[in-house]
Amino acid sequence: MDRRQFLSTSAAALAATSLPFTPAASMSLPAMTAQQIINALVADIPGAPFPNTVDTIKAGDPNTPVKGIVTTMFATNEVIGKTISLGANFIIAHEPTFYNHADETAWLGDDPALNNKQALLRQHGIVVWRFHDGIHAHKPDGIRMGVLQALSWDKYYNPDQPSITNLPKPIPLSDLIVHCKKSLKIGKLKFIGDLTQSCKKIALAPGASGGRKQIGLIQQYQPDVLICGELNEWETSEYVRDLNYSKKISLIVLGHSVSEEPGMEWLVPVLKQKAPGIPVTHLPSGDPHSFM
């Protein structure tokens, strides 16, 4: 069903069945479905729709009329609960819902975490869609722009070197860590480096892009510091530890969820434009870890 067909069909359905109890406002603007909102977002992504993508429906019926949208990093039970309280029924999450990149569920079997979440979503008619490959492929990368804005570094953005932030003045690593923690609302983070090291050229890789990409960024740009969301310790951490024998370089590990969260907040005004009249709320899923 295309958008125009949907509009006329749903208007007819409303007229036929809901007239006595439907307020005038609802009559004037028939709800978009989750799929129509997805289509509107994907229309802006160069090269999309992608043949192989993790950006698929994880729960619910994409033809559901949307009452409210929530953006988040992870569709946790807490985020789902708050979505229900808000009266929203469409969650756009950047990361997997079921604990693996492809959101495969067969391997989990009869699992309480899986069953509870699926039941909660089903019971409340909530649609979950992942927006990962698409938002990263957007020009500019929406996740990166959100994070740069949160760090007040968007003014240094250079589309020819999107991963590189050149600060106007060098600052000590300790100040850089404090700035990241404050800007991204991080309680504690791990790092490698000398806290007095002077940092000017920063390579920023939110999320978990993997050892070869993270090491490749260091090789290509020779930054003073690499800031990432998550890493494999036997890859990037050990590379940075060894590289420090020939060149002073630091590493800041923000945590996966908090490193990309502002990107899903960046999406809010985009969605308000694509789905006029539908409330859009960003709910941070937050870092699940504590430190001791």
Interacting residues with a copy of itself (CB under 8 A): 74, 76-77, 95-96, 99-101, 107-109, 111-113, 116-117, 174, 177, 181, 188-192, 195, 208, 211-212, 215, 219, 230, 232-243, 245-247, 253, 255-257, 288-292
Taking a C-beta distance cutoff of 8 angstroms, is the pair 227, 204 a contact?
yes
Closest distance to a copy of itself from the beta carbon of 285 (Å): 9
Q: Which is nearer to a copy of itself, 89 or 236 (CB)?
A: 236
Residue 175's contacts (CB-CB under 8 Å, 6 or more residues apart) are none
d(CA 140, CA 147): 12
Q: How far apart are CA 162 and CA 156, in angstroms?
A: 10
In the complex with a copy of itself, the residue whose CB is nearer, 67 or 179, is 179
Residue 43 CA to residue 219 CA, distance in Å, equals 35
Which residue, 26 or 232, has its beta carbon nearer to a copy of itself? Answer: 232
Residue whose CB is less far from a copy of itself, 148 or 252: 252
Question: Can you say whether the dihedral through the CA atoms of 13, 17, 21, 24 is positive or negative?
Answer: positive
In the structure encoding, which two tokens stand for residue 14, read together?
A: 């409303």
Q: What angle do CA 277, 283, 289 make, to 5 degrees?
A: 170
**Complex with a copy of itself: residue 3 or 213, whichever CB lies closer:** 213
Q: Nearest approach, Cβ of 113 to a copy of itself (angstroms)?
A: 4
Residue 292, amino acid? M
- Considering the complex, what minimum distance in angstroms separates the CB of residue 264 from a copy of itself? 14
**Given the complex with a copy of itself, which of 174 and 183 has the nearer CB atom?**
174
Closest alpha carbon to 96 in 115, 82, 76, 68 = 76
What single string gives the DSSP state of each residue in 168-185? EEEEEHHHHHHHHHHHTT
Residue 142 CB, shortest distance to a copy of itself, in Å, is 19
Going 197 to 203 to 207 to 208, the CA torsion angle's sign is negative
* Minimum CB–partner distance for residue 232 and a copy of itself (Å): 7
**What's the closest the beta carbon of residue 288 comes to a copy of itself, in angstroms?**
4
